[in-house]
Amino acid sequence: MQTVTVKEIFRETDQFLNQKVELSGWVRTLRSSKAFGFIEINDGSFFENIQVVFEESLANFAEIGKLTISSAIRIQGTLVPSPGAKQPFELKAELIDILSVSAADYPLQKKRHTFEYLRTIAHLRPRTNTFAAVFRVRSVVAFAIHKFFQEKGYVYVHTPIITGSDAEGAGEMFRVTALDMAKLPQDEASNVDFSKDFFARETSLTVSGQLNVETYCMAFRNVYTFGPTFRAENSNTARHAAEFWMIEPEIAFADLNDDMNLAEEMMKYIIQYAMDNAPEEMAFFNYFVDKTLFDRLENILGSEFGHITYTEAVELLEKENSKFEYPVHWGTDLQTEHERYLTEKVFKKPVFVSDYPKGIKAFYMRLNEDNKTVAAMDLLVPGVGEIIGGSQREERLEVLKNRMRESGLNEEDYGWYLDIRKYGGVKHAGYGLGFERVIMYLTGMSNIRDVISFPRTANSCEF
């Protein structure tokens, strides 16, 4: 007898029809009458369930009829065409082995639960249809990203999690220490001497792998990172997490246009890959989560992303200032409401905003000829807002040193970063794609807490 998965049965039905097979999984629903019953089984291999029919001829018929939701069973039986309209085939059981009986207070009984409630049982929610779909798409998209870059010959670099520098210069770092603060004398605890700490200096969790990956870019030409990043941003929004994953390609001999072209190509590749490789899950999102999803994604695959400079965008937005909570003027950072206005009302598709004022962007971005703006770009998408932030990097040593001084950064902390400008530095560019944001975009899920397995946000680090 052949052991099979639900996925194999759905994908290669002809091979298994009228054959004896063995399958193990968990009970999703159960109905039983005097002489027979139906169980819907999910084995985790596939989005769909398979229906099992069992009859009173089975020795443990009575026990099977009493099984609780989420009990685990092993079935041997024959796959037969189904007389019911709901499914093309069903598994006629000849033996059902009860592997584990679930406690009766299992929280996921067959009724709809709110996403808020499901967050409180984040350890059980991947067993629901919505979260099974989210996390399978997340896995498929992670693979798509590696495939995209690997096929282009990019080298995947594992940049460090613990770092001594603030890559964004924004001061939103989580401190890392091995000192037992509780054991320090009172007067020392408030004025800790980090030279006595594990690394003999102050260290933090990384906010971005960019500075490290830039050094590998000058060795391998085209590189990328894909890893967790951490930000102590105290913004309690549906798009910010304290721990999130970021993809950061870095390309040598390249400018801002090359950077934007790469970002557009990657986004389209990912969308197509998810549609082709998780069709059942994507159809579920399109039906249950966001009815406009497919139209939106297809529209994007068939069109070119928009382009606008920050200065042009501000001219446009200023006319609408009465509509906004935060009015816009040249020099202010764009808020989510402005970003969404641009992408949802003006362009109605993804749009790159470029050449931001230097005062609101990071120190490493290349200064433009006007001395006022930098070669930066953000990609804004409908429904989410900023999904990518990137730039051409400042490769001119003296200009970079100046910008660091202006930004209040200590040159000595960044000696290694300056070295790559000294030793054969060339123009280069890169960007960071927020992985959770791209999953939100692809699924229509509207809260970042619902696209990461165990979310970490302000005042919340359970599980």
- Chain residues binding Mg ion by CB under 5 A are 389
246 binds ligand 4AD (CB under 6 A): yes
Q: Looking at 51, 210, 354, 443, which residue binds ligand 4AD (CB under 6 A)?
A: 210
The least distance separating ligand 4AD from the CB of residue 390, rounded to whole angstroms, comes to: 4
| Backbone CA torsion sign across 370, 373, 376, 382 | negative
Shortest Å, Cβ 428 to ligand 4AD: 11
Tell how strand 351-357 and strand 306-309 pair up: parallel
User: Using CB under 6 A, which of the segments 194-202, 239-247, 314-322, 397-405 binds ligand 4AD?
Assistant: 239-247
Could you give phi then psi for residue 420, rounded to 5 degrees?
A: -70, -20
Which of the listed partners (Mg ion, ligand 4AD, none) does 8 bind, with a CB threshold of 5 to 8 Å by partner kind?
none
CA distance 330 to 309: 12
Residue with the two structure tokens 């934007």: 260
169 is a site residue for ligand 4AD (CB under 6 A):
no
Q: Cα(376)–Cα(390) distance, rounded to whole angstroms?
A: 6
Nearest to Mg ion of 169, 389 (CB atom): 389
Q: How many CA atoms, within 13 angstroms, populate the side-chain half-sphere of residue 93?
A: 28
Q: Residue 389 and residue 361: Cα distance in Å, rounded?
A: 10
Q: Name which of ligand 4AD, Mg ion, none residue 430 binds, using a CB cut-off of 5 to 8 Å depending on partner kind.
A: ligand 4AD
Minimum gap (Å) between residue 167 Cβ and ligand 4AD: 6
3-state helix, strand, coil in the chain (%, to 5): 35, 25, 40
CB 442 within 8 A of CB 137: yes
Binding mask 405-444 for ligand 4AD (x = CB under 6 A): -------------------------xxx-x-xx-------
Selected from 127, 136, 231, 358, the binder of ligand 4AD by CB under 6 A is 231
Question: In Å, how far are 4, 20, 92 from 17, measured between CA atoms?
Answer: 12, 9, 11
Backbone angles phi, psi at 60, to 5 degrees: -100, 30
Pick between residue 136 and residue 361 the one whose CB is nearest to Mg ion.
Answer: 361
- Position among 39, 241, 282, 374 found at the interface with ligand 4AD (CB under 6 A): 241
- Find the shortest distance in angstroms from Cβ 93 to ligand 4AD: 46
Which residues lie near ligand 4AD (CB under 6 A)? 167-168, 208, 210, 231, 233, 240-241, 244, 246, 248, 386-391, 430-432, 434, 436-437, 448
